[in-house]
Structure 1
Amino acid sequence: MLNNWLNELKNKIVIINSTELNNEAHENMYTFGISERDIKDWGTESINQFIIECRDLYLSKKPNIPMIFYSWFDNQAGQLRISMVSSSHNKLPFGSRIQECELGEMLDNIYGTEDISFFKKRKLKVWCTEI
């Protein structure tokens, strides 16, 4: 399934550059519904590789300006989400408090291996990287 998603993303992705942060983020966002069974079956390494390959696809399609690729897991929706915004915005488009983290830490959040969840800390873990 992860390879199918990558192929779909490769064919569908069009990166939008906008002066309006939320519009840019929304237009560049893709979501992938992941069940608890998927999470167990795929394992951390497969999801890690999938996110890296998504980042690389975004990199290959981005305009010639600095941008930030970011990914997070929406626990309530059961969705892995990715997007990209222009670095010039100097922030990510979240209304809630976020905690920028390493990719492995975000994956720990997906797999429930960290001690304190988003609901206890009230911060959403987001992995981001400038590309």
Structure 2
Amino acid sequence: MSKEQYFKDLEEIIHDVIYIGTSDSELQKEIETNMWCISISEEMSNEVSLSDFRGLIMDVIAKRQNQVNHSNMQRGMIFYLWFDSMASQLRFNLISDSNKKLPFRCKTQNVSEPDEIIDLFLKSNVYGEITQDTNENDVDNEYVLKVYTQYLDKQ
């Protein structure tokens, strides 16, 4: 598969319709409906660049902002992006902005740009192995997940 075909296949993600809950009790439905996962082969990761993925993520954010703006709901959304090292996937999701905490069971560290998350994804060509950013000899280290967030205010 060519780089162009790979990104063409990912275009459907840009146009997917999001779900905006009517109340905070619909958080789980937002999580389940609004999560997208991207995988990449080792061969393809050598052909693509960080800027290719940055462009994709910026297109996704712009489309999600447009959907928020044109929704009947008066709430905004939180877009968040992370690298799932266990699945070797770049993942992103949206939840209503009334949720003050991201739905992770581990500690999170906010990063200022999506590039840091994308870079982790592109460098993760270790299949069949579990990799973490912690020191294996230090059992007291708690896993910290790096996450990029962007608020999509209703405009």
For the criterion TM > 0.5, the same-fold answer is yes
Does the 8 Å contact 1:66/1:86 carry over to 2? yes
Question: Hey, what's the Cα distance between the residues in 2 that align with 1:104 and 1:29?
Answer: 19
1:5 and 2:19 aligned: no
Are the structure 2 counterparts of residues 14 and 103 from structure 1 closer, same or farther at C-alpha, using a change threshold of 3 Å? closer
Structure 2 unaligned regions, length at least 5: 1-5, 125-130, 135-141
Deviation at 1:38, TM superposition (A): 2.3
Deviation at 1:44, TM superposition (A): 0.7
Does the 8 Å contact 1:15/1:58 carry over to 2? no
With structure 2 as the length reference, what TM-score do the two structures score? 0.71
The letter of the residue matching 2:18 is: V
Question: Hey, what's the Cα distance between the residues in 1 that align with 2:9 and 2:84?
Answer: 21
Are the structure 2 counterparts of residues 61 and 125 from structure 1 closer, same or farther at C-alpha, using a change threshold of 3 Å? same
Percent identity of paired positions between Structure 1 and Structure 2: 28
With structure 1 as the length reference, what TM-score do the two structures score? 0.82
1:104 and 2:115 aligned: yes
Question: Hey, what's the Cα distance between the residues in 2 that align with 1:3 and 1:44?
Answer: 17
How many residue pairs match? The answer is 127
Question: Hey, what's the Cα distance between the residues in 2 that align with 1:10 and 1:103?
Answer: 16
Give the ranges of 4+ consecutive aligned residues of structure 1 lying more than 4 Å apart after TM superposition: none
The letter of the residue matching 2:40 is: I
| RMSD of aligned Cα (Å) | 2.2
SS across alignment from 2:75: coil
Larger Rg belongs to? 2
1:32 aligned partner: 38
Question: Hey, what's the Cα distance between the residues in 2 that align with 1:107 and 1:96?
Answer: 20
Deviation at 1:109, TM superposition (A): 2.2
Structure 1 unaligned regions, length at least 5: none
Q: Which protein has the bigger helix share?
A: 1
Does the 8 Å contact 2:79/2:150 carry over to 1? yes
Does the 8 Å contact 2:34/2:93 carry over to 1? yes
2:90 aligned partner: 80
Are the structure 2 counterparts of residues 19 and 31 from structure 1 closer, same or farther at C-alpha, using a change threshold of 3 Å? same
- For 1:15, which of 16, 19, 28 is the aligned residue? 19
1:61 aligned partner: 67
Question: Hey, what's the Cα distance between the residues in 2 that align with 1:88 and 1:75?
Answer: 28
Question: Hey, what's the Cα distance between the residues in 2 that align with 1:31 and 1:22?
Answer: 17
